[in-house]
Amino acid sequence: MVKPAPMARHTLTALALKARLTEAAKVAAEKKKPQRIGDGDGLMLVVQPNGSASWVLRYSTTRRTDLTLGRWPTVTLALAREKAEEARRLIAAGADPAEKRAEEKKARASAASPDTLRLLFDDWMATTKSDKSAVYRGNIEAAMKKDVFPRLGAKAPHLVTRAEILEILRAIEERGAFEMVRRLRMWLRELFEFGIDDESRPLLLASPVPMGTLRSFKTRKAMNFPAVTNHADVKALMVALRRTENWTVRAALLFSSYVFQRPTEIREATWAEFDLQQARWVIPAERMKGRLEHWVPLAPQVVELLRQHQGVVGNEGWLFPGRRYGKPLSEGTLSGRLNACGYEGKHSPHGFRAMARTVLDERLKVDTRFIEKQLSHEVDARLKGAYNRAEYWDDRVLMMQAWADWLDAQK
């Protein structure tokens, strides 16, 4: 009897994997369905719609099983092959790698010290978020302390249920914080995936965080923020902003008009993000809506404004500190000042983006590619590997200078 030919292995190269990963991430995002990149004999890299990827070995004993070997890029192609070969040896010896892993986890459980979701959180933050900004880490911890720890902080991670996670998300939804529903679910998913991969937590075998689209949840209705978009009306707005008595509020509103980034990105900015010598503001990926680092050119007028601002608030910590110690200026404070100027329902802190977008296009005749890039409107935001933060940089420098000059002439 002729034996079947062995399945091909090691069909990928490092370069081929990199190219196929970029394409797979794009397809997964478009189709909202995981894509697989095969290396032969059941080993594959599974790419999720959110851009994350994990190595999986698919094999059959009494049933077909997908054995997770670890997340890319922590587990490299070479390491994934080693792990797959080890599993294949177990299969050849008549053992089931998945069952063996589960048994080993249970065996270690008896010797494991009591675990809690709070301890898992501390390990996760120390291991995966230590290189993130203090602002981003603070946002995660604040959300957990407010919504998760009071209910689940003392509970063992493997005992947390899907129903409990949904209950927390529902409570956030009820208070209208739709963006926080998305963010907290993302953080919880990362947290539990970290715990599953942690061999010191043998009882945590599956994540209770719901995946996919939460169809039963409400979706935030798209809204248009009030904005002055007629170029003839911008003069009155700028005059009102310059008359603001509170220096920090005045500086924040003028800065918003010059750079037209999102209100949260402006309010939570820190001095560490600014290079006034190079006239550049680098917004970290974790603070951007699309989770991609963004570069903002600073016109000379903006650099001068910030140097004056340093003389008032110093050059450390929040760019625009609020009245409450350790907190940035609130969006309500900025909205309140605009309302006091007579712009209630007519212009908002977010409205500076629409104002700049319209005037730059219709009045200053700037190429819309440069405008959209400066607004950080990315078509393929998930394809981080293909993202160019310096794209159109020289053109955007000229655009931001022209915009600042035009605003200064409105007086």
Q: Which CATH class is domain 14-110?
A: alpha beta
| CA 321 to chain centroid | 23
Right CATH for 231-380+387-409 from 1.10.150.120, 1.10.443.10, 1.10.630.10, 3.40.50.720: 1.10.443.10
The phi, psi pair for 53, rounded to 5°, reads -145, 145
How deeply is 285 buried, as exposed, middle or buried, from its count of CB atoms within 10 A (0-12, 13-18, 19+)? middle
65's enclosing H/E stretch is strand 64-72
> Cα–Cα distance between 242 and 257 in angstroms, integer?
11
> How many whole angstroms separate alpha carbon 90 and alpha carbon 150?
44
End-to-end CA separation in angstroms for the chain = 92
Domain range summary for the chain, segments of one domain joined by + = 14-110, 117-197, 231-380+387-409
Phi, psi at 154, each rounded to 5°: -95, 0
pLDDT, one tens digit for every residue, the chain (411 residues): 444 445 678 888 888 888 898 899 889 888 888 899 999 889 999 998 878 889 999 998 878 888 888 888 888 899 999 999 998 998 888 888 888 887 777 666 555 557 899 999 999 999 888 877 777 888 899 999 999 999 999 999 999 999 999 999 988 888 777 778 888 998 999 999 999 888 778 788 888 988 766 655 655 554 567 889 899 999 999 999 999 999 999 999 999 999 999 998 999 899 999 999 999 999 888 888 777 888 999 999 999 999 999 999 888 889 999 887 778 888 888 989 999 999 988 999 989 999 999 999 999 998 988 998 898 875 444 444 444 566 788 999 999 999 999 999 998
Specify the CATH architecture of the domain 117-197. Answer: Orthogonal Bundle (1.10)
What pLDDT does 122 receive? 93
Report the side by side order of strands in the sheet with 64-72.
35-40, 43-47, 53-60, 64-72
Partners of 270 in beta bridges: 318
Measured CA to CA, the distance from residue 224 to residue 309 in angstroms comes to: 31
Query: Distance between CA 117 and CA 142 in Å, rounded?
Result: 15
14-110 and 117-197 in the same fold:
no
